[in-house]
Amino acid sequence: MYIHGYGERESERLLAQAASVVLLLHGDTRFPPGSRVLEVGCGTGAQTVSLAGNSPGAQIVAFDRSTASLARAIERVAAAGLANVEFVHADLFGLPFEAESFDHAFVCFVLEHLSNPIAALQLVQQLLKPGGTVTIFEGDHGSAYFHPHSDIAHRAIACQVELQRRAGGNACIGRQLYPMLVNAGYDAPCVTPRVVYVDASTPELVDGFTRKTFTWMVEAVRGEALAARIIDAASFDAGIRDLYRAAEPDGVFCYTFFKGVAVKPRKSATGRP
Amino acid sequence: MYIHGYGERESERLLAQAASVVLLLHGDTRFPPGSRVLEVGCGTGAQTVSLAGNSPGAQIVAFDRSTASLARAIERVAAAGLANVEFVHADLFGLPFEAESFDHAFVCFVLEHLSNPIAALQLVQQLLKPGGTVTIFEGDHGSAYFHPHSDIAHRAIACQVELQRRAGGNACIGRQLYPMLVNAGYDAPCVTPRVVYVDASTPELVDGFTRKTFTWMVEAVRGEALAARIIDAASFDAGIRDLYRAAEPDGVFCYTFFKGVAVKPRKSATGRP
């Protein structure tokens, strides 16, 4: 079963991603001093460092179900000299927190892996105080396009999307944040696209995003895609070559993340669970 | 041969487009008092009004090869009470202007229709004074995606792209602005994506953009697409239905325009023509 987030190159990939899109994702995400913020599924802490660093007066409570990831996250946060993060080993569907015990929640690159993201958003809502907010970041692989255009590169990307679908997730979830937040019972959802546009004028994004974030992510499913016979090796490899081609000096690459913010209603009939 | 820009519904479509994306495209486009600005292919003046209104001290020289479009543009600019536009009936490849006689140039939704957009950019460069800038806006139909996703809607969109290609144009040109500006010999190109993100929280964009700008544009090629046997009627109509579906309350629609700005080199070996 494919879940990205584990492995050696994958760690470097997540670092490259965090570095190349950190401003895009975190630039306008701040939580007030004294607030208690839940980070859902912190993984290896790639986002936790930005989250905690940008809101030094907030207390972050970060959890993940993987002890290995959590260990990395703890190291990383310590190395950054951040003291405002508490880590908890737990699963989203069995959290040891009291209802209405958080001011805000932060959910980054998590919903894409869940078979019922709306149920997850409703769970998070129960943990929020009335008037508290949820902040979500998700990508959308259907938003990727590039120059030169390549059908076979899109077929390689589709392998990743298909494998994530078979694992119960949705790699094209970004565009759905608005209706999901509405369906989960939140008020006033506000969704904004965050485009990563990469041309030769930003070589650090060519390397950090086009190559090491996106193309590596697709490349990582090669073995699984071939084993599942979703694609043949020659086609997959040609697709990957065309993705690297978009990182050449006359190439262009575009990808869109989505940020959604919404409020737990102050007077709610609580979740429709 | 398909060229959008003519016809009754098309006029309303262009108005809806101009109204719904005017800030996105023109919000940061201003030319200094006293400057002489060439608008290439002004059409019916949908952009001319914003251009001239936002830079009241600049003198705009707008040309188009269609007298019918030009007549509409003249009316529209007069109705807006703008006195800083001069209209010229001319073709891009036979312009009556002296070399290096403009401070800036503005080219909006024109390159997508040309078989050699780089040659056009080089022609424009000859008309610019050294150090003058060219500002370009183009869309990219390959940037369109929506919720719910629909393969058949993408097939309907592909009809428009294919017909524009057969007419010598490129409906997916937006992503190519950076390499085109480099190839045309401009300095310091800066390209930025301008995303139209539409969900139910902005009903004016649902109507003005998803329905009346994008879906109408695709719908307009129905006859031609069927005549050219690019698609069958049932598939095309199903695709259009799915585009309207994205305008329902739980639907989402995304499209990206690109703005490019670049400078004519001060000391150039002039154009490689």
| Predicted local confidence at residue A223, as pLDDT | 98
A145/B149 touch (CB, cutoff 8 Å), yes or no:
no
Q: Residue A260's pLDDT is what?
A: 98
Percent of the residues in chain A that have a pLDDT greater than 70, as a whole number: 95
Is residue B272 over pLDDT 60? Answer: no
How deeply is A171 buried, as exposed, middle or buried, from its count of CB atoms within 10 A (0-12, 13-18, 19+)? buried
E strand or H helix at A85 = strand A85-89
- Please state, as a whole number, how many other Cβ atoms lie within 10 Å of the Cβ of residue A68: 10
Query: Nearest chain A Cα to B196, which residue?
Result: A193
> B251 contacts in A (CB within 8 Å)?
179
Average pLDDT estimate for B50-54: 97
State residue A11's pLDDT score. 76
In chain A, residues 175-234 whose CB comes closer than 8 Å to chain B: 175-176, 178-179, 182-183, 189-193, 195, 197, 199-201
Record: contact A145-B175, CB cut-off 8 A: yes
pLDDT-derived band at B271, boundaries 50, 70, 90: very low
Q: What sign does the dihedral B169-B174-B175-B181 (CA atoms) show?
A: positive
Q: Choose, out of B197, B202, B209, B253, the residue to mutate when testing the contact with A (most A CBs < 10 Å).
A: B197
Total beta-carbon pairs less than 8 A apart between chain A and chain B: 73
Give the pLDDT band of residue A2 (cuts 50, 70, 90).
very low
Read off φ and ψ for residue B24, nearest 5 degrees.
-60, -40
Of A176, A190, A197, the CB nearest to B252: A176
Most A CBs within 10 Å, among B199, B201, B256, B258, to test the A interface: B199
Structure token pair of residue B249: 């309350």
The helix (H) or strand (E) run that includes residue A252 is strand A252-263
Omega within 30 of 0 (cis) for the link into B33: no
Question: Do the Cβ atoms of B250 and A182 come within 8 Å?
Answer: yes
SS3 state at B62: strand
What number is the ipTM of this complex? 0.90
Interval A31-61: pLDDT, tens: 999 999 999 999 999 999 999 999 999 999 9
* Subunit contact A193:B191, Cβ cutoff 8 A: no
Residue with tokens 């950190």: A22
CA-wise closest residue to A155 among A248, A250, A242: A242
Decide if B24 contacts B47 (C-beta within 8 A): no
d(CA B120, CA B180): 10
Confidence bin at A200 (pLDDT 50/70/90): very high
Statement: residue B4 has pLDDT above 90? no
pLDDT for the residue numbered A6: 62
Nearest-CA residue of chain B relative to A248? B179
Using only the alpha carbons of chain B, give its radius of gyration: 19
The answer to whether B161 faces chain A, any CB pair under 8 Å, is no
Radius of gyration for the alpha carbons in chain A, expressed in angstroms and rounded: 19
Select the residue of A147, A149, A256 nearest B195 (Cβ to Cβ).
A256
CA distance A86 to A39: 10
- Residues A125-154 pLDDT 10s: 999 999 999 999 999 999 999 999 999 999
DSSP designation for B92: G
Closest residue to A147, CB basis, from B175, B189, B201: B175
Q: What is the mean pLDDT of chain B?
A: 94
Q: Chain B partners of A172 at a C-beta cutoff of 8 Å?
A: 149
pLDDT (0 to 100) of residue B5: 57
* Angle in degrees, CA A87, A92, A42, rounded to 5: 40
Cβ A29 vs Cβ A52: under 8 Å = no
* Residue B181 confidence (pLDDT): 98
In angstroms, how far is CA B103 from the centroid of its own chain? Answer: 21
> Looking at the predicted structure, is the pLDDT value of residue A270 above 80?
no
| B260 → chain A, closest CA residue | A199
| Residues in chain A within 8 Å Cβ distance of B178 | 199-201, 252
Q: Is the pLDDT at B9 greater than 90, yes or no?
A: no
Distance from CA of A47 to the nearest CA of B (A): 25
A140 chain-B contacts, CB cut-off 8 A: 145
Q: Is the pTM of this model over 0.90?
A: yes
Helices (H), B64-129: 67-79, 117-127
Closest CB to B172 among A142, A149, A175: A149
Q: Is the pLDDT of residue A4 over 70?
A: no
Beta bridge partners of A220: none
- The pLDDT tens digits of the residues spanning B185-228 come to 999 999 999 999 999 999 999 999 999 999 999 999 999 999 99
Chain B closest-CA separation from residue A103 CA (Å)? 25
Residues 6+ apart with CB under 8 A from B23: none
Task: Give A-chain residues touching B138 at CB under 8 angstroms.
Answer: none
- The conformational region for residue B266 under phi > 0 = left, psi -120 to 50 = alpha, else beta, is alpha
Query: What pLDDT is attached to residue A20?
Result: 75
B177 burial type by CB count under 10 A (0-12 exposed, 13-18 middle, 19+ buried): buried
More confident residue, A189 or B3: A189
The percent of residues in chain A predicted with pLDDT above 90, rounded, is 88
- Region A74-102 average pLDDT: 96
Which of A175, A190, A250 lies closest to B179 in CB terms? A250
| A143 in contact with B, Cβ within 8 Å | yes
Looking at the predicted structure, is the pLDDT value of residue B273 above 50?
A: no
Res A15: pLDDT: 72
Residue B1 has pLDDT above 80, yes or no: no
Average pLDDT, chain A: 94
> Which band of pLDDT confidence, cut at 50, 70 and 90, is reported for residue A8?
confident
Measured between CB atoms, does B126 come within 8 Å of chain A? no
B151-172: average pLDDT: 98
